[in-house]
A and B are shown apart, each in its own frame.
Chain A
Amino acid sequence: MIYADKNTGIIVQGATGRQGSFHINLMNQYAREVGGTGVVAGVTPGKGGTIVHDIPVYSSVRDAIKNHDATTTVMFVPGSAAGDSIMEAADAGIELVVAVTEHIPVHDVMRAIAYADTKGCQVIGPNCPGILSPGECSLGIMPSHLYRRGNVGVISRSGTLTYEVVHELSRAGIGQSTVVGIGGDPVIGQTFVDVIHRFFEDTETKAVVLLGELGGNLEEEGALTAQECDIPVVVFIAGTTAPPEKRMGHAGAIVSGGEGDAITKIKRLQAIGIPVASRLSTIPSIIQELL
Chain B
Amino acid sequence: MKIQEHEAKIIFQGSGIKVPQGVMIQRGDDYHKTIASLGDEIVVKAQVDIGGRGKAGGVLMATQKTAPDTIQELFGRTIKGLVVNRVLVEERLRIEHEYYVSITIDRARKMPVILFADTGGVDIEETAKQDPEALRRAYIHPLLTDVPLYIRRYLIGNAPKELGETINQLYKAFIANDALLAEINPLVTTKEGVYAADAKLIIDDNALFRQGIKENRDLNERERLAEDHGFSFVELEGTIGVIGNGAGLTMATVDLITNSGGTPANFLDVGGGADKDRVSFAVRLLGDVPRVSVIVVNLLGGITRCDEVAKGIVEAGVSQKIVVRLAGTNEEEGRRILKEHGYTMLDTMEEVVTAAVRAAI
Query: Interface segment, A31-39, A50-58, A61-69, A99-107?
Result: A99-107
A246 touching B234 by the CB < 8 A rule?
yes
- Residues from chain B with Cβ under 8 Å of A251 in the complex: 204-206
Scoring B residues 343 to 356 as 1 if CB is less than 8 Å from chain A, else 0, what string do you get? 00000111000000
**Is B302 interfacial (CB 8 A cutoff)?**
yes
Task: Verify if B303 is at the interface (C-beta below 8 Å from A).
Answer: yes
Contacts of A252 in B (CB 8 A): 107
Interface string of A198-225 (1 = CB under 8 A from B): 0000000000000101111110010000
Partner of B248, one of A118, A184, A216: A184
Chain B interfacial residues counted at CB < 8 A: 49
- What string of 1s and 0s marks CB contacts (under 8 Å) between B59-86 and chain A? 0000000000000000000000000000
Q: Mark B202-237, 1 if CB is under 8 A from A, else 0.
A: 001111011000000000000000000000101010
Question: For the complex, is B99 an interface residue (Cβ under 8 Å from A)?
Answer: no
Tell me the complex Cα distance, A139–B342, Å: 40
User: Is there an interface contact between B107 and A105, defined as CB atoms closer than 8 Å?
Assistant: no
Chain A residues positioned under 8 Å from B56 (CB to CB): none
Residue of B104, B232, B255, B348 ringed by the most chain A CB atoms within 10 A: B255
Binary flags per residue of B308-350, CB closer than 8 Å to A gives 1, else 0: 0000000000000000000100000000000000000000111
- Return the chain A residue nearest B102 by Cβ: A257
Q: Are B300 and A160 in touch, CB under 8 angstroms?
A: yes
Q: B291 interface residue, CB < 8 Å from A?
A: no
A250 partner, pick from B248, B259, B272, B302, beta carbons under 8 A: B248
Query: Once bound together, how far apart are the Cα atoms of A145 and B300, in whole Å?
Result: 13
Q: Which of B18-26, B185-193, B239-247 contacts A (4 or more CB under 8 A)?
A: B239-247
Report whether B249 and A164 are in contact in the complex, using a CB–CB cutoff of 8 Å. Answer: yes
Partner of B246, one of A158, A188, A239: A158
Q: Which chain A residue has the least Cβ–Cβ distance from B252?
A: A238
**A279 contacts B256, C-beta separation under 8 Å:** yes
- The A/B interface has a contact count, at CB < 8 Å, of 162
Q: Which residues of B contact A241 (CB under 8 A)?
A: 236, 254-255, 258, 264
What is the distance, in angstroms, from A125's C-beta to the closest C-beta of chain B? 13
User: Which of chain B's residues have a CB closer than 8 A to the CB of A175?
Assistant: none
Question: For the complex, would chain B's binding face be called helix, strand, loop or mixed by DSSP majority?
Answer: mixed
Stretch binding the partner chain, chosen from A4-12, A108-116, A268-276 = A108-116
Closest to B112 in A: A110
Q: Bound state CA distance, A103 and B111, in angstroms?
A: 18
Given A106-B180, A243-B234, residue A213 in contact with residue B247 (CB < 8 A):
yes
- Type the 1/0 row for B105-147, where 1 means its CB is closer than 8 Å to any CB of A: 1011011100000000000010000000000000001110000
On whether the beta carbons of B251 and A242 are closer than 8 Å, the reply is: yes
Q: Is B300 touching A163 in the complex (CB atoms < 8 A)? A: yes
Also in contact, A161 and B252, with CB within 8 A (given A104-B206, A107-B175, A279-B259):
yes
Interface string of A56-100 (1 = CB under 8 A from B): 000000000000000000000001100000000000000000000
Is there a chain A Cβ closer than 8 Å to B178's Cβ?
yes
Residues of A within 8 A of B90 (CB): none
Which residues of B are in contact with A by a Cβ distance under 8 Å?
Answer: 104-105, 107-108, 110-112, 125, 141-143, 175, 178, 180, 204-207, 209-210, 232, 234, 236, 244-252, 254-256, 258-259, 264, 267, 269, 272, 300-303, 327, 348-350
Show 10 A/B contacts (Cβ-Cβ < 8 Å), sorted by A: A105-B207, A114-B141, A115-B143, A143-B301, A160-B250, A184-B248, A186-B105, A188-B110, A236-B252, A238-B252
Can you name 11 extra interface pairs (CB under 8 A) apart from A110-B105, A247-B205, A248-B250? A79-B206, A110-B110, A113-B110, A114-B141, A160-B244, A160-B246, A221-B108, A236-B252, A238-B252, A248-B232, A251-B205
